[in-house]
Structure 1
Amino acid sequence: MKSNEWLHGFRHSSPYINAHRGRTVVLTIGGDAIAHSNLINIIHDIALLSSLGIRLVVAFGARPQIQTRLDAIGAESVFHRGLRVTPESQLLPVLEAIGGLRAHLESQLSMGLVNSPMHNARIRVSSGNYVTARPVGVLDGIDFGHTGRVRRVDVAGIEKLLELGHIVLLPPLGYSPTGDAFNLSYEDVGSQVAVALQAEKLIMFTENQGLPEDDGSLIRELTAKQATERLSAGKVEGHDGDLLKAACDACVKGVRRAHIISYVQDGALLEELFTRDGSGTLVSGDNYEQIRQARVEDIGGILGLIQPLEEQGILVRRSREMLETEISRYVVAERDGTIVGCAALHHYPEEGAGELSCFVVDQAYRRAGRGDDILAMIEKLARGHGIERLFALTTQTEHWFRERGFRPSSVQELPGPKLASYNVERKSKVFVKPLV
């Protein structure tokens, strides 16, 4: 590694650090991950995220540890519909296995050794009865006993702890008003808690790098609809199938992003959060909101967005005919069938440049990161076209662009065709962002 590579990476991570500070992220860690040698590095990374001001909830599982405990006493394990049947006679060893893991994780998160990444971290970890559960009951003639499902999440209680800077640790247990304890799926706990808290992200650990394509390559991104189609086709099964179902459920119910990453790969958590490409598979909710390529039928919605700004002189006027001709250059943000944002990318291949134009987000939907999502989509498309620098002309939003890596430039740096059509009377300022 070159001596200054760490500096370059650190500087380029700052936008992601700022974007995540103060946001709620739910992590799910299965028993296999807890038993893996890389757990200590995951613990260190969790401590780092906490120190950066990210509000963390960790839901953990204990399946292999429960199995080991039951095997030790010669108890038979019964599974049905992917769930462990937990009779009364097995509840105590199940609770013992889960309790042991909880204590182990609390001890790991409490480390503060000199010369370790957690020196002086002083992390506070809190756990408790924040999940109310109900019994699965009898299915297909099988009584699931003390196996349950999430019924309700104590959002107010968890929020108070997060406000105090605590990491909230949630075991795969839920309790009922009758005083019963239930063995829960940790994927279900993580997904339902993320929905209840309206978390920014749900991050789920698996053994592989993420979800594989049919040819074995990594799937980088899936919409909830695409994920559901893969599940229905039987392309994702077993533990990865359980994770993907939980991710889809969370995204459809309002969690913005779910990530499936490796617990084996050192640094996968940090790479997923603080780099452009990430390390695993990203799942996003498309039924509720999506950023996508514009279509002809979107023109009415785009016109509705831009016309008020054209009338104020903030945007250059565009006719319906012009939009119809250039619609392939546009992306839109759609929420429940309504266009709430748009932007266009104009390509100047001879100069390796692209122009970000007609960039609008409905005023009622600003301050929720949609502008950043649209910009990320434009940058992704630009890189796909081999564009090396992206420029924007603005009269009103100088600071927004500067905060996202654009630097002031001169009119003379514009590509030739754009320079020739530059409107001197508008006095638009030019900003450029390198993409390489």
Structure 2
Amino acid sequence: MTSNKKNKIGEYVKFFRDTSPYINNHRGKTFLLAFSGEAMSHENFNNIILDITLLQSMGIKLVLVHGIDYEKNERLKKLKDDQNQDISNVIIDHSSMSLIKDLVGSTKISIEAMLSSGAASSVMCRKKMKVVSGNFITAKPAGIKGGIDLQYTGEIRRIDSSSILKQLENDAIVLLSPIGYSPSGEVFNLNYIDLAVKSAIGLDVDKLIIFDKNEGLRGLDGKLLKTLSINEAQEYLNDPQIDHNQKQALKACSEACKKNVRRSHIVSYISNGALLEELFTRDGNGTLVLKNSVGLVRQATIDDIGGLLKLIEPQEKNGALVKRSRELLELEITRFTVLEHTEGPIISCCALYPHDGSQSAEIACIVTHPEFIDQGHARQLLEVIEKKAYAMKINRLFALTIKASHWFIENGFVQSSIDDLPIERQSLYNFQRNSKVFCKRL
């Protein structure tokens, strides 16, 4: 075997190992994917279909919401252009609605055909893929706005969530079209983004994913904004430099997160593999909108042993930390607090060891993954640990380090001496390591 081939195999093995936590984390979850008519007209949409079939093969439950390409009909294109691209405020008369129904029907059939074809040429080739659509959406007329009757422009009145969830449990992909039905038998045109948001909320999905032409949002420095909180998203919504489609996607993600959708993503429909990269890599390839911060701070559990060992091992090898065996880590797991990344892996940790018979404790094993250094995660964990210690009536925190002296000083610690440690801890001091002692009063 040539060295080049060995390197390729090594890269593949590493990639597979790196993605396995995401695969396990996503299995059984429900994702809603929303794409415009323009996205379906792009040459990369065939690859997106293949990626969708791959997601279902991993046990992910999928709801697809599609728009329609108004550019395909001159009359509909003019209607949209006249209203500055906001189809929610367009006057849809009877003849226009007939054109929309034809366009929705042909679009739905095309997606179903592509999913069938995609399954035949993918990992799902031996399994029949079920795609289900129907009258899941009850709509009402948008009514009169500004003195103008919008006629067949509609608003969502109700989503038949129980029927959709039943189809998902039966291993079907649910396809929702941007039209709704009234109890009187009328059909109304809907904004597909609005449909996606309300469906995501009603179905309590784990992820809302909106496809846009761009990778995601970019900051003033031109760099991709990989993660935004709701508050940060609002700041960008007020930015006049963001184009209409991006603003519409960001607003949808923000609204969904406000109503407890766990995570919302903006992903490019132009970039091949962007969806998989966003879902199965640490860095992603889009913009993720979260209700809260970058991750979840929580108490470590026995299931975190593998992730903790992987996180702290490099620091043990370079001598910054004393080596901990798996057995010792299992015994001390309740001492650890971890910061879990939005997609599952642990990216930072810290341990608290109370001293018996003393109102003091030692913090130890403060580690952050190299890709997330200098982003405030260690400080975030320290604040949590300090609150925890204070609640335990602890009034002094000690820390021993050979490399992070400046970090502790920056976070309110002062250099101390071995003599200041409790007697029991003094007896365990390793003079060969010659660690500096720091103390912070709470």
**TM-score when normalising by structure 1:** 0.68
Is the CA contact (8 Å cut-off) linking 2:53 and 2:122 kept in structure 1?
Answer: no
Distance 1:78 1:138, change over 3 A: farther
The aligned runs of 1:329-348 (5 Å cut-off) are none
Query: 1:216-365 alignment to 2 at 5 Å?
Result: 216-286=222-292, 290=293, 351=319, 359=336
1:220 Cα deviation from its structure 2 partner: 0.8
* 3-state DSSP of counterpart to 2:125: coil
8 Å CA contact 1:223–1:284 kept in 2: the answer is yes
SS at match of 2:284: coil
1:198 paired residue number: 204
Task: Tell me, yes or no, if structure 1 residue 385 matches structure 2 residue 389.
Answer: no
Q: Does the CA-based 8 Å contact 2:141-2:155 persist in structure 1?
A: yes
SS at match of 1:157: helix
2:73 to 48, 69, 74: 69
What displacement does 1:146 show?
Answer: 1.1
2:296–2:342 CA contact under 8 A, matched in 1: no
Task: Determine the structure 1 residue equivalent to 2:110.
Answer: 104
Is the 1:172–1:183 Cα contact (8 Å) retained in structure 2? yes
For 2:226 and 2:10, locate their aligned partners in 1 and report how far apart those are by CA, in whole Å. Answer: 29
**C-alpha separation in 2, matches of 1:293 and 1:43:** 32
For residue 202 of structure 2, give the secondary structure of its aligned residue in structure 1. Answer: helix
User: Aligned-pair distance for 1:359?
Assistant: 3.8
Partner AA of 2:218 in structure 1: P
Secondary structure in 2 aligned to 1:110? Answer: helix
Shift of the 230–353 alpha-carbon distance from structure 1 to 2, 3 Å rule, reads farther
Q: Secondary structure at the match of 2:223?
A: coil
Per-residue CA deviations over 1:414-435 (Å, capped at 9, x if unaligned) read 98799x9998999xxxxxxxxx
Deviation at 1:352, TM superposition (A): 5.2
Map Cα deviations across residues 265-307 of structure 1 (whole Å, 9 max, x no partner): 1111111111111110000113xxx46799xxxxxxx9xx99x
2:143 aligned residue (137, 140, 155): 137
Task: State whether structure 2 residue 98 is matched by structure 1 residue 86.
Answer: no
| Residue aligning to 1:331 | none
Write out the 4+ residue segments of structure 1 that deviate beyond 3 Å after TM superposition. Answer: 70-78, 112-118, 290-294, 347-361, 369-387, 414-418, 420-426
- 1:53 counterpart (51, 59, 63): 59
Residue number in structure 2 paired with 1:13: 19
Instruction: Supply the distance in 2 between the matched residues of 1:371 and 1:228 (Cα, whole angstroms).
Output: 20
Aligned partner of 1:405 in structure 2 is none
Query: Given that residues 205 and 263 in structure 1 are in contact (C-alpha distance below 8 angstroms), is that contact kept between their aligned partners in structure 2?
Result: yes
Amino acid of the structure 2 residue aligned with 1:263 = Y
Task: Measure, in 2, the Cα distance between the counterparts of 1:196 and 1:255.
Answer: 9
| Alpha-carbon distance change, 228 to 235 in structure 1, aligned in 2, over 3 angstroms | farther
- Give the CA deviation at 1:247: 0.5
User: How far did 1:357 drift?
Assistant: 8.6
TM-score (norm 2): 0.67
Residue 375 (structure 1) aligned with residue 379 (structure 2): no
- Counterpart of 2:64 in structure 1: which amino acid? V
Alpha carbons of 1:90 and 1:228: their partners in 2 closer, same or farther (altered >3 Å)? same
Is 1:220–1:281's contact at 8 Å kept on the other side of the alignment? yes
| Matching residue of 1:3 | 9
Shift of 1:78: 4.1
Q: Within 5 A, what are the aligned runs for 1:151-230? A: 151-230=157-236
Cα contact 1:112–1:121 (8 A) shared by 2: no
What is the distance in 2 between the residues matched to 1:209 and 1:14? Answer: 24
Q: What per-residue deviation string (whole Å, max 9, x for no partner) do you get for residues 113-159 of structure 1?
A: 86655522421000011111222222122322211222221110000
1:350 and 1:5 map into 2 onto residues whose CA distance is 24
Paired residues of 2:267 and 2:274 also in contact (CA < 8 A): yes
3-state SS in 1 of match to 2:346: helix
SS in structure 2 at match of 1:151: strand
- The answer on whether the counterparts of 1:28 and 1:187 sit within 8 Å (CA) in structure 2 is yes
SS at match of 1:233: coil
For 1:153 and 1:236, the matched residues in 2 are separated by 31
Task: Give 1:80 deviation, angstroms.
Answer: 6.2
Pairwise CA distance, 1:3: 2.9
1:70·1:90 contact (CA, 8 Å) conserved in 2? no
| Unmatched tracts of structure 1, length 5 or more | 295-301, 310-346, 362-368, 391-413, 427-436
Deviation digits for residues 82-130 of structure 1, max 9, x if unmatched? 2233122210000101110000000011126866555224210000111
Contact 1:256 1:285 in 2 (8 A): yes
Secondary structure, counterpart of 2:117 in structure 1: coil
Over 3 Å counting, the alpha-carbon distance change for 1:284 and 1:253 in structure 2 is same
User: By how many angstroms is 1:32 displaced?
Assistant: 0.8
Q: Can you list the C-alpha shifts for 1:209-238, whole angstroms capped at 9, x where unaligned? A: 111223332111111111112112334330
Classify the secondary structure of the residue corresponding to 1:53: coil
2: distance between equivalents of 1:49 and 1:118? 10
8 Å Cα contact 1:79/1:85 also seen in 2: no
Percent identity for Structure 1 against Structure 2: 36
Q: Verify the 8 A CA contact 1:258 1:282 in the aligned structure 2.
A: yes
2:11 counterpart of 1:27: no
Output the CA distance in 1 between the equivalents of 2:296 and 2:61: 33
The root-mean-square deviation of aligned C-alpha atoms, in Å, is 4.0
